[in-house]
Amino acid sequence: MKEYTIRLLKRQVEYERLWALTDVSFDVCRGEVFGVVGPNGAGKSTLMKIIARVLPPTEGRVIVRGTVAPMIELGAGFNQEMTALENIVLNGTLLGRDPTTMRERAPAIAEWAGLQDFLDVPIRSYSTGMLARLGFSVATDFQPEVLVVDEVLSVGDQAFQYKSRERIASMIRSGTSVVLVSHDLGTIEEVSDRALWLDHGYVKMLDTPAEVVPAYRATAR
């Protein structure tokens, strides 16, 4: 029997009397890449926020074994008036890491993002791309049990995108489970072990990417 790291049981979230998700249930096994597809408004981002423990459900429960590194809105939690160093320590602490460790790791985190010359600069002067690169580097600097990725693999230039994919691939090889939302269906087909198709908050299909992606693509034309 496979060991799972995520289990969702009849997940439901309600906004203004509309269910964002209804009867969404699935398991994600250790080391599995679980792709999520669907049109805008299908409930994908809501699902990611529930798994990342950012948003509580109205009903149901989610069981996550271990630490979760959310990459939903990279840089969204940064304090614009603080330096990159201060934000690295703050965000690492929010992810459950020791502040002293984060301060020691800060130069390496900034260097990986190509921002080593801007470590002591307030991030209000950062571009959107710089913020996203820093956020990615912070979130992936340790080995979480679960990595939640919502449309962030297109961050930065082509070289950084390749570098990011390689880091995630290394984490998967080490046993991290990845829940991946992307409108890039080719990426879902290429990297996912299974895929979930959400439509208006309901599970339309849950199968291999080879089955789910063509079925979804046919309706999206």
Tens-place pLDDT, residues 110-169: 999 999 999 999 999 999 889 888 988 998 898 889 999 887 666 667 888 888 889 988
Strands 59-64, 33-37: pairing kind? unpaired
CATH 3.40.50.300 fits 1-67+144-153+177-221, yes or no: yes
For residue 1, the model assigns a pLDDT of 45
Name the strand (E) or helix (H) holding 209: helix 209-220
The radius of gyration of the chain's CA atoms, rounded to the nearest angstrom, is 18
Name every residue whose Cβ is closer than 8 Å to that of residue 110 and which is 6 or more positions away in sequence.
Answer: 84, 85, 88, 116, 118, 119, 134, 137
pTM, whole model, 2 decimals? 0.81
Ranges of residues in the chain whose predicted pLDDT is under 70: 1-18, 73-76, 152-156, 221
For residue 11, the model assigns a pLDDT of 59
d(CA 197, CA 182): 11
Residue for token pair 């449309």: 151
